[in-house]
């Protein structure tokens, strides 16, 4: 009996929580890429994500829905009104009393203020609008708001991040905290920071949201992914943004 | 006696953060090995050689490197398997593939022969529920192949 207790203590201790990456060692996925892919991101003329940004600029000024208003009708001059916004999302939504991500907010504005239909997470329009808004924070440090109402949701995001998931029973932390820099098959494991979204991924040959990226990691461990727009993704993003605090926003980034 | 310690160890790890893993059909762990073939028969090393490279099925090369094709697509998360047949017996190889977590509860190596209970915390994807990662036959093929890896 005593032995059983001792052994279970031992097992718990060795399972232990993964070590967090100290702030001075935090690095964007950009730094794990080849020089060619880095150049593709850094040169705006070669960065495919800039096409979505340009499209987003156009859509931002286009009247929509029954209200016949554009985003710009309420938020004139995005370079000023949207500066720094993406760097502090997700934020607390007074209406639903829970966190909302940037794409969720854009859709909320469409439905409530423009009288238009909400856009799908993987639609070019929503990717373009989110890319254009997030581009206004390019180069700014990630700065999660100090709002204590967000804390329980962030803790829920952390719990998912540390949970062993799927048939393969791997946690996000096992790869992104404990084994970043090592190779999983042919891919270098980055630290899993959400600095560049929406971004252009060469493997997708397309622009994609953070939720699409998280879905990929979930499917990889043979877990049932959450539906697009699920609150769990927003909670995980909240945790990831806190973890990436101080890293610079890169939207639209490029990833392999 | 040794067996008892492993059995306790295994139940201790089940009591922790890892959800319960049921074995598919019973097998006996002696020391750090499963001496008896899971199928009662010897595996086929050539099928094992084929299977170990199938990164979407066996997954081995996602983590391990070894004397297999496409070294640039092999992972660096786990020990190199070159010469493993000299270092480990068939029984030791079998236990490591069946359930590495019995030897090392915090291992990232998937349990290949066991069923993880599905639930809202484990979220096994629909197509992967209620089945082990590999079958008993496939594991025997891998054991037979790995035994051939001698320096």
CATH number at residue B50: 1.10.760.10
Distance CA A151, CA B100 (A): 36
- CB hemisphere CA count around A253 (13 angstroms): 22
Closest by Cβ to A168, choosing from B16, B61, B110: B110
Contact by Cβ (8 Å): A98, A231? yes
pLDDT above 80: residue B10: no
Smallest Cα distance from B89 to chain A, Å: 25
Q: What is the pLDDT of residue A19?
A: 80
Helix (H, G, I), strand (E, B) or coil at A206: strand
Say if A17 is an interface residue toward chain B (CB within 8 Å): no
Domain containing B40 equals 25-147
| Cross-chain Cβ contact A163/B121 below 8 Å | yes
* Chain B residue with Cα closest to A3: B8
- Collapsed DSSP state (helix, strand, coil) of residue A152: helix
Q: Assign B11 a pLDDT band (cuts: 50, 70, 90).
A: very low
Residue A2's pLDDT is 43
pLDDT of residue B23: 62
Low-confidence ranges of chain A (pLDDT < 50): 1-16
Q: Is A217 a catalytic residue?
A: yes
Task: Determine, yes or no, domain membership for B11.
Answer: no
Do A224 and B75 lie within an 8 Å CB cutoff?
no
Does residue B91 form part of some domain? yes
Distance from CA of B13 to the nearest CA of A (A): 6
Looking at per-residue confidence, does A19 or B131 come out higher? B131
Q: Which long-range contacts (CB under 8 A, 24 or more apart) does B59-66 make?
A: B59/A168, B59/B110, B59/B133, B60/B142, B61/A185, B62/A184, B62/A185, B63/A184, B63/B108, B63/B109, B66/B149
Q: Is position B16 within any domain?
A: no
- In sequence order, what are the residues at sequence separation of 6 or more whose Cβ sits closer than 8 angstroms to the Cβ of residue A142? A87, A88, A195, A241, A244, A245, A246, A247, A248, A249
| Domain tally, chain B | 1
For chain A, domains (ranges, CATH) are 2-43+143-255 (1.10.760.10), 50-135 (1.10.760.10)
Q: B147 CA to chain A: closest CA distance, Å? A: 23
Nearest by CB: A164 against B18, B55, B59: B18
**Nearest chain B residue (CA) to A169:** B110
**What is the pTM for the complete model shown?**
0.91
pLDDT for res B150: 94
């Amino acid at each position: 009996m005593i032995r059983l207790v001792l052994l279970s203590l031992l097992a718990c201790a060795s399972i232990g929580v993964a070590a967090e990456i100290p702030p001075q060692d935090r690095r964007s996925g950009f730094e794990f890429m080849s020089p060619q892919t880095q150049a593709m991101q850094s040169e705006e003329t070669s960065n495919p994500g800039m096409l979505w940004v340009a499209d987003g600029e156009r859509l931002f000024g286009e009247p929509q829905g029954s209200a016949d208003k554009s985003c710009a009708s309420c938020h004139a001059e995005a370079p000023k009104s949207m500066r720094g916004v993406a760097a502090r999302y997700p934020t607390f939504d007074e209406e639903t009393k829970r966190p909302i991500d940037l794409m969720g907010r854009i859709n909320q504005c469409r439905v409530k203020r423009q009288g238009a239909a909400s856009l799908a997470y993987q639609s070019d329009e929503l990717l373009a609008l989110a890319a254009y808004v997030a581009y206004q924070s390019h180069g700014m440090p990630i700065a999660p708001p100090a709002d204590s109402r967000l804390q329980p949701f962030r803790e829920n995001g952390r719990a998912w991040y540390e949970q062993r998931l799927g048939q393969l029973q791997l946690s996000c932390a096992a790869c992104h905290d404990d084994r970043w820099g090592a190779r999983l098959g042919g891919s270098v494991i980055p630290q899993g920071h959400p600095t560049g979204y929406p971004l252009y991924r060469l493997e997708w040959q397309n622009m994609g949201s953070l939720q699409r990226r998280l879905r990929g990691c979930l499917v990889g461990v043979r877990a049932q992914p959450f539906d697009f727009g699920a609150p769990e993704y927003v909670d995980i993003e909240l945790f990831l943004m806190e973890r990436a605090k101080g890293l610079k926003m890169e939207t639209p980034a490029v990833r392999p | 006696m040794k067996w008892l310690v492993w059995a306790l160890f295994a139940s201790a790890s089940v009591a922790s953060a890892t959800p319960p893993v049921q074995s598919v059909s019973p097998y006996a762990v002696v020391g750090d090995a499963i001496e008896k073939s899971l199928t009662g028969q010897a595996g086929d090393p050539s099928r094992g050689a084929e299977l170990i490279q199938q990164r979407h099925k066996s997954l081995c090369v996602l983590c391990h490197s070894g004397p297999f094709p496409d070294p640039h697509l092999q992972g660096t998360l786990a020990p190199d398997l070159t010469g493993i047949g000299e270092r480990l017996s068939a029984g030791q190889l079998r236990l490591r593939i069946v359930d590495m977590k019995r030897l090392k509860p915090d291992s990232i190596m998937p349990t290949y022969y066991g069923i993880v209970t599905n639930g809202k915390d484990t979220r096994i994807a629909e197509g992967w529920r209620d089945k082990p990662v590999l079958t008993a036959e496939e594991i025997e093929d891998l054991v037979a192949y790995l035994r051939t890896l001698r320096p």
